[in-house]
Amino acid sequence: MTGVFVLINSRRFPIISHLRDQGRRNRDGVSAVTCFITFEGIEGCGKTTQVGLLSRMLEEQGKPVLVTREPGGCAIADKIRAILLDADNHALVPLAELLLYAAARAQHVAEVIRPALAEGKVVICDRFTDATMAYQGHGRSLDRDLIRTLNRLAVGGISPDMTILLDCPAEVGLKRALARIETTEGAREERFEQESLRFHRAVRQGYLALAAGDPDRFVVLDGTLDIRETATAISKAVLSRLSQG
Ligand SMILES: Nc1ncnc2c1ncn2[C@@H]1O[C@H](COP(=O)(O)OP(=O)(O)O)[C@@H](O)[C@H]1O
Ligand SMILES: [Mg+2]
């Protein structure tokens, strides 16, 4: 038998196929009326800025919106986020990092995303599964099949209907991100900003490869354009998708 199994009382249970089927059933019940939008791209490409503008636009149109982010998005996953982004955690090994992302995502999907979609909300998430593939797969060169497996396990059948990729050169994004960190108070969540330019270039290329492989889901926009111009392009793409039901 192939697949991933869990042993319970010496019996093997296929956890991946089980979760996938369960997810599909859950998803089928709500998919006709929901929209799950994710934002992706390197540090400083403008994700959080555009998530805020899109959610405001949709709320002004009377649409029920839930904005969330990864890593984190709920109390337990936020604790995992603190570990993942703490610049003092130099010793965190890539596999532990990957597993922490998966754990945080499993909690976030179960506690926040799935219930919000079931309630008919438009869910907007700042980073999701593609970030794991881009950062841990392309950036850290971890096994991509393992990442796909963990992503599938963590999401339990939920997947983005639309992914906005804000593409920009690593130099541009990092410059913006570092300027933002200098002006932000509170915990310094900069473990990834401290990675090399080479790492961020690999992440960018990873994102572009993911988008090329799934053109129906991805909308790729130039993150170096003016904030308003980008917001308008995103609004158009999202409203068009929502009107398709
Ligand atoms: N299109 C843009 N042009 C110039 N500056 C931008 C643009 N989008 C965002 N910024 C600025 O760059 C910084 C990082 O943006 P942010 O939205 O936090 O990026 P991310 O969430 O992708 O890391 C912020 O200070 C933001 O105001
Ligand atoms: Mg952000």
pLDDT digits (tens, 9 = 90+) for 53-66: 999 999 999 999 99
pLDDT band at 9 (very low <50, low <70, confident <90, very high): very low
Question: What is the rounded distance in angstroms from the CA atom of residue 113 to the CA atom of residue 245?
Answer: 19
Beta partners for 69? 126
How confident is the model at residue 102, as a pLDDT?
Answer: 98
Q: How many angstroms is it from 3 CA to the middle of ligand 2?
A: 35
Residue 179: Cβ within 10 Å count: 11
**Does the structure show a pLDDT above 70 at 13?**
no
Residues 131 and 232 in one domain: yes
Q: What is the CATH number of the domain that holds 91?
A: 3.40.50.300
Q: What is the mean pLDDT of residues 81-98?
A: 95
Instruction: Tell me the ligand closest to 49's alpha carbon.
Output: 1
How confident is the model at residue 34, as a pLDDT?
Answer: 66
Residues 207 and 88 in one domain: yes
**Ligand 1 pocket check for 177: Cβ under 6 Å:** yes
Residues 182 and 212 in one domain: yes
**Does the structure show a pLDDT above 60 at 29?**
no
Predicted TM-score (pTM) above 0.85: yes
Residues 108 and 2 in one domain: no
3-state helix, strand, coil in the chain (%, to 5): 55, 15, 30
Q: Which residues are near ligand 2, the ion (C-beta closer than 5 Å)? A: 47-48
Are the C-beta atoms of 102 and 128 separated by less than 8 Å? no
Question: What is the rounded distance in angstroms from the CA atom of residue 131 to the CA atom of residue 200?
Answer: 12
How confident is the model at residue 17, as a pLDDT?
Answer: 36
Residues 126 and 217 in one domain: yes
Residues 88 and 60 in one domain: yes
Ramachandran angles phi, psi of 23, nearest 5°: -60, -45
Residues 11 and 128 in one domain: no
**Where in the sequence is the domain holding 123, given as residue range(s)?**
37-243
Average pLDDT value for the chain: 88
Residues 81 and 195 in one domain: yes
**Ligand 1 pocket check for 95: Cβ under 6 Å:** no
